[in-house]
Amino acid sequence: MQMVRRRVLGVAFSLALLALVFSGAGGRAATDRTATVVVLTSGVVPEGEVLGSGDYGYADYGLVLRNRSLTRDALDVTVEVEAVDGGGQSITDSYTTVTLIPAGADFVISGALIWRGSPELAGIETEVHVGQTAPRRRRLPPVKHVSVTSSGRVIGSFTNPYKKPLPASATIYGVVLDSRGRIVATGYDLTDAVTRPRATLAFDIRASTTLQRDAATSAKVSVDPCGYLVFTRVCPVPGAQS
């Protein structure tokens, strides 16, 4: 089993300001033909990292998405997360493209919001768009043995189920949940290596030391098999090539 080189991209955890956790609020469902992807749970952790200057604000976010269609796979799913201040004005936004959410499946994503100036983050709003759909038959890399370590890292493994290799851009997303199902920490990483068909790869997404271990009761992890190389020839998902 190979071990992913740990490279944390904007991964930060904090429980100090968990008042800004939402359960689907502010999210609009997106429907394309018969596939509907909705935000089940959202959470944001403000000021999770200091960028070395008071000129910028920073927050991590995590979302649990669900494809409510039981017969159609959702492909090219674009997720917009907008940070807003107390007056409802936009501070900044972030876009993530997900290669595939199979029919009836959940998918978690995480990311970072960075803005210039001193506006105080009051919450996030989400919007999801499904680029195309196809009859149900696709699957994501299965994830196993997910747990949160005593130091707050999210560990586990996944297997490449396809006949083609996974590109090095394959992205592992993780969210940490408390006993009430609220997102209390998030993180993501790239495999940074091509994964052979049927090969199993271990992952280790490092958390910051600010995560209170006793509040973390479980974690959810999803693997985007193509990442930023979606709709290129190296993407192994049927229908997700240009």
* CATH number, position 151: 2.60.40
pLDDT for 60 beyond 50: yes
pLDDT computed for residue 52 by the predictor = 52
Q: What's 65's DSSP letter?
A: E
CA distance 216 to 242: 40
Q: Considering only CA atoms, give the Rg of the chain.
A: 17
- Listed residues 103, 135, 167: the one ending a domain: 135
Angle at 51 between CA 15 and CA 153, to 5 degrees: 45
CA–CA dist 120, 155 (Å, integer): 33
Residues 116 and 153 in one domain: no
Both tokens of residue 104? 């009836």
Distance CA 113, CA 91 (A): 9
The 10s digit of each residue's pLDDT in 207-222 is: 654 566 667 789 999 9
> In a 10 Å sphere around its CB, with 0-12 CB exposed, 13-18 middle and 19+ buried, how is residue 201 labelled?
buried
Q: How far is CA 108 from CA 41, 85, 186, in A?
A: 9, 25, 10
Number of structural domains the chain divides into:
2
Question: What is the reported pLDDT for 18?
Answer: 35
Domain contains 236:
no
| CA dist., res. 201 & res. 196, Å (int) | 10
Instruction: Please check the confidence at residue 78 and state whether its pLDDT lies above 60.
Output: yes
Q: Flag whether pLDDT at 65 surpasses 90.
A: yes
Q: How far apart are the first and last CA of the chain?
A: 32
Instruction: Give the pairing of strands 200-205 and 2-3.
Output: parallel
203 or 184, which is more confident: 203
Q: Domain check: are 147 and 125 in the same one?
A: no
User: Is a pLDDT exceeding 60 seen at residue 104?
Assistant: yes
Q: What is the pLDDT of residues 128-149, one digit of tens each?
A: 999 999 999 999 999 999 999 8
Considering only CA atoms, which of 21, 24, 26, 25 is closest in space to residue 39?
Answer: 24
> How does the average pLDDT of the chain come out, rounded?
83
pTM recorded for the entire structure: 0.83
pLDDT greater at residue 34 or residue 53 = 34
Structural domain for 151, as ranges: 2-12+138-229
What is the percentage of the chain residues whose pLDDT exceeds 70?
A: 79
31 lies in a domain? yes
